[in-house]
Structure 1
Amino acid sequence: MADLKAHAERLRELHRGEMLVLPNAWDAASAATVVEAGFPVVATASAAVSAMLGHPDGEGAPWQEMFAAAARIARAVSVPVTVDAEAGYGMGPRELVDRLLETGAVGCNLEDTDHTSGGLTDAHAHAEWLAAVRSAADDAGVPIVINARVDTFTGSGGIPEHDRLPEAIRRGSLYRDAGADCIYPIGVRDKDTIATLVKELGCPINGNASDDLDLATLRAVGVARVSYGPRFYRAALAGFLSGIKELLP
C-alpha cells in the first residue's frame, strides 16, 4: 500500500509540472515498451484493451477481464499506472477503488457517458459519484488520481455543436469541485476550444494529440496531460497487416 501511495503522489505531481505525455498501452508488452522508451507513467486505453480481449469498447468487455488486463500491465512495470475504467462498470465508489488498487493502478479515467442509454449521465449525479470515489480513495489511504472525462464533444446526449463548449465547462467545473484531479474533454480538435477549457476550468486538462493539435500546440495553451487512446494499438495492427501481406504469393 505504501508503494501505491507513492505512485499516486508521483502521478499527481506529474500533472503539475512539464506536460505529461501518455502513449496508451493495451497489454504487458506494450506497457513495458512505453517504460523502455522513457515515459514515467503507463496509461491504458479502454478501446485498445477491449479490442485486444475481443470485445467492443464502451463497457462491452466484462470488468473482470479489463481489470485482469490492467493487473498484468501493472505487474510488468515499476512506474505509476492509470487505468481507463470507462464509466466505472456500475460499481459503487468503494468497490471501484478497491478493484483498482487490487490491480496495482493508482489513477483512472471515469467518463460521463451512460452506456445503457448511450447518452450523458446527469452532471450533478455524476459529480456526486466522483466525490464518493474521491472519498473512498482517501479512506483507502491512496490518493488515486481521477481523470474525469467529459463526453460532450463526442456527440453523446445530442448536444448541439454550439452548446458543447459551455456544457463541457459546466460539467468540468462540477467534476473539478467534486475532487477530480484532471478534466478530460475528449474529442476536442481545435486550439481555441482547448485553450478556453484550460482558462475557464483552471485545473489540469487532458488533451488529445491529433493532426490538428500537435504536442507543441497543446503545450503552448497549457494542457497538463496528453493521451492517444487506441492510436498506437491500431498502428501496431496496421504494421502487422502490412508485414504479413508481404508473405502472400
Structure 2
Amino acid sequence: MTNQAQKAKAFRALHKPGTPFVLYNIWDAGGAKALVEAGAPAVATGSWSMAAAHGFEDGEAIPLDLVLTLVERITAAVDCPVTVDFEGGYAQSPDDIAANVRRLIDCGAIGLNFEDQIVGGEGLHPVEDQVARLRAVRKAADDAGLPFFINARTDLFLKNEAGVQHALLVEEAIARQNSYAEAGADGYFIPGLTDPTLISRICEASTLPVNVMMMGELSSVSKVASLGVARASYGPGPYIMAMKDLVAAQSEALAS
C-alpha cells in the first residue's frame, strides 16, 4: 500500500460503528513501526505526547515545522495510513489553516484531528467560525485530490470536566456534529465524555462515525463497541505509561 489516496480510502473503511478499530497513539517513527509490526492497520499521533516527547507543552507549543518533520519521518517509516492530531491547525484564519493542511498532506498524512477549542485562549470557537475553518481543511484536501479523513473534535466535554454535568452538553454536541458534518467532516471525536449512556445517545444521533478517547470508565474496547462507537483512541495514555515504565526500569537498575 504505497499510494496516499489508497491509504486514505483504506483508513476510511476502518470506521465501522459498533466495530471500533483501535488507535494507540504514538509520537515518533519508532513507535509507529513497533505498532505496525504488531499488526496495527493504521497509526495516529497524539499532540500531547509528541509535544512532551520533545520538551514542549501541549497546545501548539511545539513548532509546526518540527511537527511536520516528525510526521514526515513517521509516514516514511510505515507503509500504512497515518493520521495526525493537528490540534487547531496551528492557525486561526481559514486561509492559514488551509496552507498548513496542504503542508501536512505533503508530508504523507491521510487524515487529521481538528479541534474546536480556542488554542491558547478560552472556550470553543463559535460554531460558524469552526465551520469556516473546517471548510478550509476540506477544500485544501479536495484541491490535493485526496479523500482526506477529517476527524472533527469537539472539546465540549474536556473543557467542562469540573462542575458541569455532561448530560447538559449532549444536545450542543449533537448540534455541533450536524454543523461539522455539513462542513465536510468525516468523523466526530468526543474526548472527555466517558458516560456510556451519553456516548450511546451521541452515536445514535450522529451521522458521522464517532471516536472516543479511552479513559476513566472507558477501559474496554468491547464495551464502547456496544455503544455504537467506530473508533477508540488512547490520547496521551501510551506516552504516560511508557514514561512510567522508563522511570521504573531506571529505579530498578539503580537499586540492583
Q: Closer, same or farther in 2 for the Cα pair 1:222/1:107, shift >3 Å?
A: same
CA contact 1:113–1:156 (8 Å) conserved in 2: no
Tell me the distance in 1 between the aligned counterparts of 2:150 and 2:141. Answer: 10
CA contact 1:120–1:156 (8 Å) conserved in 2: no
CA contact 1:113–1:121 (8 Å) conserved in 2: yes
Gaps of 5+ in 1: none
**Are 2:153 and 1:149 equivalent residues in the alignment?**
yes
Tell me the distance in 2 between the aligned counterparts of 1:43 and 1:10. Answer: 14
Please provide the CA RMSD for this pair: 1.9
Tell me the distance in 2 between the aligned counterparts of 1:173 and 1:159. Answer: 26
Q: Which residue number in structure 2 is paired with residue 128 of structure 1?
A: 132
Tell me the distance in 1 between the aligned counterparts of 2:129 and 2:42. Answer: 30
Q: 2:123 aligns with which of 116, 119, 132?
A: 119
**TM-score of the aligned structures, taking structure 2 as reference length:** 0.91
**TM-score of the aligned structures, taking structure 1 as reference length:** 0.94
Tell me the distance in 2 between the aligned counterparts of 1:159 and 1:177. Answer: 31
**Are 2:64 and 1:60 equivalent residues in the alignment?**
no
3-state DSSP class of the match of 1:15?
Answer: coil
Gaps of 5+ in 2: none
Tell me the distance in 2 between the aligned counterparts of 1:190 and 1:156. Answer: 14
Tell me the distance in 2 between the aligned counterparts of 1:204 and 1:158. Answer: 27
Moved over 6 A (4+): none
**Are 2:240 and 1:234 equivalent residues in the alignment?**
yes
Q: Structure with the greater relative contact order (CA < 8 A, sep ≥ 6): 1 or 2?
A: 2
Instruction: Give, in angstroms, the shift of residue 172 of structure 1.
Output: 1.5
Q: Which residue number in structure 1 is paired with residue 8 of structure 2?
A: 8
Q: How many positions carry a matched residue from both structures?
A: 248
Q: Which residue number in structure 2 is paired with residue 216 of structure 1?
A: 222
Instruction: Give, in angstroms, the shift of residue 210 of structure 1.
Output: 2.9
Instruction: Show the 5 A alignment for 1:42-191.
Output: 42-90=43-91, 92-155=96-159, 160-161=164-165, 162-191=167-196
Which deviates further from its counterpart, 72-81 or 158-167?
158-167
The one-letter code matched in structure 1 to 2:9 is: E
Instruction: Give, in angstroms, the shift of residue 158 of structure 1.
Output: 9.3
CA contact 2:178–2:207 (8 Å) conserved in 1: no
Which deviates further from its counterpart, 17-26 or 106-115?
17-26
Between the aligned residues of both structures, percent identity stands at 38
Instruction: Give, in angstroms, the shift of residue 153 of structure 1.
Output: 0.3
Q: Closer, same or farther in 2 for the Cα pair 1:93/1:117, shift >3 Å?
A: closer
The one-letter code matched in structure 2 to 1:204 is: P
Q: Closer, same or farther in 2 for the Cα pair 1:189/1:158, shift >3 Å?
A: closer
The one-letter code matched in structure 1 to 2:232 is: V
**Are 2:167 and 1:201 equivalent residues in the alignment?**
no
